[in-house]
Amino acid sequence: MSKVFSCSEVCLSMQVFCIVLLNLIKVESAFRMLLSRLTIQMKIKPRCCSTNARREGPVHLSVNGREFQRDTWSNVSSKILSHLGKKLHLQKYHPLSLIKQRIVNLFYKRFVGRTGNPIFSVYDDLEPIVSIKQNFDSLLIPPYHQSRKKSDCYYINCDYLLRAHTTAHQSELIGMGLNNFLVIGDVYRRDEIDSTHYPVFHQVDAVRLCGKHEVFRSIENGDKMAVFENEGERTAQKQEAHTLEASKIMEDELKSTLIVLAQDLFGQEVKYRWVDAYFPFTHPSWELEVHHQDKWMELLGCGIMEQRILQNAGAQDRIGWALGLGLERLAMCLYDIPDIRLFWSTDSGFLSQFENRDPHDCIKYKPVSIYPQCINDISFWLPNDGDYTSNDFYDLVREIGGDIVEQISLVDKYFHPKKQHTSHCYRIVYRHMEKTLTQEEVNTIHKQIEKAVALKFNVSIR
């Protein structure tokens, strides 16, 4: 028997049906939306990364107080990152800082404005974290150039890396309107490991841009000459945009500056040679080599800046030269430092050899012993006669301690207002070149020094 529904029952069934249908439609549209979002996300690739470059999960990297997302390009280790804040070139009396000052002084002296003031400005504390654009694109380095490879650089992720050269800041500084500047800082490269290579080293870049009047300032009828030419040709000697005259004058200024620099550092008699080179950001390009200890050593790379870089940075009415040199190689030659790792040493036996020295002093590094240091302090009231100088004390210590005294420094001065007496505290660092000194051996010598001080200066040891 067929079931007959009442009118109210039919209405209720219809209502339930409609609600179920509506809910199904809602679920379906939500599902569609989710699907379309997923599709969009899958279609968008990260800006410069290869497919799947982003790693899954929120893995972050903290560098210099900034947070970066890790991806498959990230290859900086915590060991490399630990070098970031060291800034050896800014540490007073560090050998790299001494050489840096010498180079800066030369540029200050050689390039002065109408009023006699230096025209070069110095940027030695720019952040070493740079973008792909800064390190490569802005310098016209081709997309598949070897220097961009993950095997050659320290990448933070696919967008940022630790600068591989100080040239990374060139385009930005020109864009800010600068014409003459030096950039000095730490650079990071994955390279072989030996006594002359270290993954972190220091470079100086110099850039000089000149307008027409500066280029031809010392040429008769210079105002009739041109820096640029239309439909010019690129040859081994010049770029298509430049006249041969302008390019040659800039080349001459660049090369003569660098010869003066080489002579300032290595002496007037230094033997040097120019070697043709290639950089994507300069043309023509050269390397300067100097003859040192029977070997030719590459000191720097340089050239006439690619005009397209100047155009992109808004300095299209100027022509420029640029150079980049490594500070470690220079310092190793000048100071006879045998191993590049020594620059990172915090051993006072190394650092004290450069302390209180002038950038223009001739300093020759003496190898530090591999045996440990022993440190003892000595304090005494100074003699009342007023003739005493710390050097008197240093001589006496040298006389008694001989070569096992590696370093002496005045670590504390104290003036007693009632007694009107001054006291000095000196720290003596003992270290033998051929053996480990025992504390007992050091104490014996230290006692002899105390006795000699008391006797010679007629003072009492505190």
Interface residues with ligand FA5 (CB under 6 A) are 165, 167, 189, 191, 197, 201, 203, 205, 279, 282, 298-303, 322-326, 328-329
Nearer residue to ligand FA5 within complex by CB, 240 or 298: 298
290 by DSSP, 3-state: which? strand
Nearer residue to ligand FA5 within complex by CB, 153 or 299: 299
Nearest residue to ligand FA5, scored by beta-carbon proximity: 326
Contact 324, 167 (CB under 8 A): yes
Nearer residue to ligand FA5 within complex by CB, 205 or 214: 205
Nearer residue to ligand FA5 within complex by CB, 104 or 302: 302
Residue 399 in tokens: 């006389």
Query: If you search the block for the tokens 């870049």, which residue do you land on?
Result: 205
The least CB distance from residue 325 to ligand FA5, in Å, is 5
Q: What is the spatial distance between Cα 432 and Cα 438, in angstroms, rounded to a whole number?
A: 10
Contact 298, 326 (CB under 8 A): no
Nearer residue to ligand FA5 within complex by CB, 71 or 205: 205
**Peptide bond preceding 284: is omega within 30 degrees of 0, i.e. cis?**
yes
Give the chain's end-to-end CA distance (angstroms, integer): 122
Nearer residue to ligand FA5 within complex by CB, 321 or 354: 321
The least CB distance from residue 288 to ligand FA5, in Å, is 8
The least CB distance from residue 300 to ligand FA5, in Å, is 5
Q: What is the spatial distance between Cα 3 and Cα 13, in angstroms, rounded to a whole number?
A: 14
The least CB distance from residue 233 to ligand FA5, in Å, is 22
Q: Which long-range contacts (CB under 8 A, 24 or more apart) does 357-366 make?
A: 357/93, 357/98, 358/98, 359/98, 359/99, 359/101, 359/102, 359/105, 360/102, 363/95, 363/98, 363/334, 363/335, 364/335, 364/336, 365/95, 365/335, 365/336, 365/337, 365/338
**How many beta carbons lie within 10 A of that of residue 49, not counting itself?**
15
Nearer residue to ligand FA5 within complex by CB, 156 or 302: 302
